[in-house]
Amino acid sequence: MGCFLTNSSVGKKLVMSISGCFLVLFILFHMSMNLTMIFSREGYNMVCEFLGANWYALAATVVLAAGVLVHFVYAFILTIDNYRARGKQRYAVTVQEKGVSWASKNMLVLGIIVVLGLGLHLVHFWSKMQLVEILHSSAAVINVDGVEATAHPANGALLMAFTFSKWYNVVLYLVWFAALWFHLTHGVWSMFQTAGFANDTWYPRLKCAANVVATLIFLGFAIVAVLCFFKSNEFMTEMMSWAPAHH
C-alpha cells in the first residue's frame, strides 16, 4: 500500500485528493467561523477562546499542518513527474476540459501563492493567538486612534479588525482568496475525478459544484475582510474592553 501511494501516479493523485478534501472541509469550517464576526464579535471571540491552546485544538493544528505539507509535497512531486513524462504539459486528468482552463495549467503556481498567503495568515493571527498561549508569552499590543490596547489571544475580533484596518492587508488577502478560488475551481473537480466520477454525465455537474464551492469560500472570506476595513474603528472600539470568560 505504501509503495502504491508513493510510486504510482494513481496513488499519488489519491493522496492529493484525500488531503485536498480534508483541507477544503477545514477551509469551509474556517470561513463559517469567520462569518460569525459579522453578526457577533463576542460570539466570534467565544469560538476563538474555545479553539485556543486546548489539547483538541492543538491536535487539530498538527493534523492540519500535516495535511497542508502532504498536499503541497505531493503536488510538487506530481508536477515534476508530469514535466518528465509530458514535457511542459502540466498536471493532467483523464477527462480533458474543453479548452484547458488556466487554473488547471497553473495549479502549482496557485498552490505556492496559497501557501504564501497561509504564511501571512499565520504571522497575522496564529502567532498572536494560539502560539502566544502555547508559549505563555506577552499578548500583542495594538494602537487604536492613539490608545494602546492589549489584544488578548482570544480577542480575535479586535485582532481581525486591526489587521484589516490596513488597506494593504486587505489587498494581499484578496489576492490570496482569488488564488484560492482558482485553485479550488480545478482542485475540487479534480478530486472527484480521481475518485472515478469522470464520465460525461458527472463532468458538468462536478465543474459546477467546484465553481460554487470556490465562490462561496471566496465570498465568505472576502466579505469579512472588506467589512472589517470599513468598520474597523467601530469593531475595535467595541472589542477593546472585551475580556475572556476564563482568563
pLDDT tens digits for range 35-50: 999 999 999 999 999 8
CA dist 80 and 91 (Å) reads 9
AA identity, residue 27 = I
What does the block give as the cell for 115? 501557501
Q: How confident is the model at residue 189 (pLDDT cuts 50, 70, 90)?
A: confident
pLDDT for position 92: 47
**pLDDT value at 94 more than 50:** no
* H or E element at residue 142: strand 140-144
**pLDDT value at 87 more than 80:** no
Kindly report the average pLDDT of the chain as a whole number.
Answer: 83
Q: What is the pTM of this model?
A: 0.84
The torsion angles phi and psi of 52, rounded to 5 degrees, stand at -80, -140
Alpha helices in 40-166 (DSSP H): 41-50, 55-86, 102-105, 107-124, 130-135, 156-163
pLDDT for position 110: 83
Please give the domain boundaries of the chain with CATH numbers for all domains. 17-239 (1.20.1300)
Contact residues for 236 (Cβ-Cβ < 8 A; gap 6+)? 142, 144, 149, 158, 161, 162, 165
pLDDT for position 21: 84
Q: How confident is the model at residue 179 (pLDDT cuts 50, 70, 90)?
A: very high
